Amino acid sequence: MTARRGVAITGVGVVNAGVVGPSAALGAWLARPRPAPRTPGPRPAVRVPEATLSALVDGGEARRLSRVCQLTIAAARLAVGESGFDPNRDLSRGLGLVIGTELGDFTSTIAFADGYLARGPAGLSPLLFPNTVMNTMAATTAIAVVARELTLTLNVPTVAGELAIARAAAAVASGRADAVLAGGVDELNPLVGDMLEVLGDHDVRGEGAAFVMLEAESSARERGAPVLGRIHGTAWGSLPARPWGLGRRASSRAVAEALERARLGPPGWIYASASGDAERDAWEARVLADALGPASRPTSSLSPLLGHCAGVGALRVAAAAWTARSGLLPDDAGDEPTRVSGPGLVHGLARGGGHVALVVG
């Protein structure tokens, strides 16, 4: 196996209620972020308007594909398009794909079950059945972007988007892959919202997808690809906690290991997964303090602006690349950004103990 390689971000694609487009669109939004509109009601949520999605997929795809698959493909195509990567031309080893999701295609699963409950065996839709398997987004996106190498779907609460990108970056850094499209996606579903509320997950839910194109930096430069940022080091682990519960321990190796792999000093700023779940957010703050020391660092989350979902977790990695380039960390209240410098940390901690750290510069 070759020594660890530099991992470049060469494309970004974001589709959510607040911002849609490649890195330039994301950067323009981050420079002065505005909260995305929330649906009214007892549990506000941030939903991608149907018109937004219709503009991004063609009519055939809109008829054939479930909504969460459409969100995924739309964002994935934006990232691949910005990178200029052509899987049929650029590399003999082809393109990998890693997707993180917290909920998968819940909507199709419920619709499939409803078909049976309404009409018995005759009500079962063979077209819906494949969507009940959580890799449906990966299956359809792999076809859309011609990803023929490693394709993974990772499922974990809260940090699925960050974990997908960390996993993909590790594959590129180790030499197991030359190019991997990685990101996260989730779709809103009212029944799921009820479930998460009962489980103590009080986040304002959002939906959407975000992807980054990751390539070996040497390969990216050889083909003249844009280098929008770098992932210097990643690590993931778990802190002891009951499923969906909170842990007491704050000490974890993930941040230290990510920094060791990055071979850089402590980060100057942080994108955290804090999302309004007060107890989990407090746990995350303790874990960060334990890893980095008590001195506070400028920290942003973006969840208050966009709602929380796997897509926003992945968006934070793309945002971190923008922050490293621009020297600006957006304010979660939409006020003036904070000036920062150097690489930063993207951090995720989930109920149940899932823990991810990425050093991005």
Partner 1 sequence: MRRTVVTGLGVVSPFGAGVKAYWAGLAAGACAIRPLTLFEATGFRCGLAGEVPDAAGGSLRRTRADRLALTAAREALDDAGLDASERRGTALVVGAVGGGMFEAEAWYWARARGERVPGGVSALRTMLPGSHAAALGHRLRLEGPRQTVVTACSSGAVAVAEAADLVADGVVDVAIAGGVDALTRLCFMGFNALKLLDPEPCRPFDRDRRGMSIGEGAAFLVLEAAEHARARGARVYAELGGHGVTTDAFHVTAPQPDGGGMTRAMQAALGAAGVPATAVGYVNAHGTATPQNDRIEAQAIARVFGEGGVLVSSIKSMIGHAMAASGSLEAVATILALVHELLPPTASLVTPDPEVTFDCLPGVAREAAVECAISNSFGFGGQNVTLLFRRA
Residues making contact with partner 1 (CB under 8 A): 1, 97, 102-104, 106, 109-110, 112-114, 116-117, 120-121, 124-126, 129-130, 132-136, 138-140, 142-143, 146-157, 163, 167, 170-171, 174, 176, 191-192, 194-195, 198-199, 235-244, 352-354
Select 221 or 253, whichever has its Cβ closest to partner 1: 253
Report the alpha-carbon distance of residue 146 to residue 89 in Å, rounded: 11
Find the shortest distance in angstroms from Cβ 201 to partner 1.
Answer: 9
Find the shortest distance in angstroms from Cβ 185 to partner 1.
Answer: 13
Find the shortest distance in angstroms from Cβ 158 to partner 1.
Answer: 10
Select 157 or 337, whichever has its Cβ closest to partner 1: 157
Could you say which DSSP state residue 336 is in? P
Find the shortest distance in angstroms from Cβ 31 to partner 1.
Answer: 35
Select 198 or 295, whichever has its Cβ closest to partner 1: 198
Find the shortest distance in angstroms from Cβ 283 to partner 1.
Answer: 15
Cβ–Cβ contacts within 10 Å for residue 279, how many? 12
Cβ–Cβ contacts within 10 Å for residue 143, how many? 11
Find the shortest distance in angstroms from Cβ 310 to partner 1.
Answer: 11
Find the shortest distance in angstroms from Cβ 209 to partner 1.
Answer: 17
Element containing residue 184 per DSSP (H, E) = strand 179-186
Element containing residue 23 per DSSP (H, E) = helix 23-31
Buried b (16+ CB within 10 A) or exposed e, 57-89: beeeeeeebbbbbbbbbbbbbbbbebbebebee
Select 118 or 295, whichever has its Cβ closest to partner 1: 118
Select 93 or 223, whichever has its Cβ closest to partner 1: 93
297 CB contacts (<8 Å, ≥6 apart)? 267, 268, 269, 270
DSSP string, 32-68: S--PPP-B-SSS-BB---HHHHHTTS-HHHHHHS-HH
Select 140 or 323, whichever has its Cβ closest to partner 1: 140
Select 26 or 317, whichever has its Cβ closest to partner 1: 317
Report the alpha-carbon distance of residue 170 to residue 258 in Å, rounded: 11
Helix, strand or coil for residue 132? helix
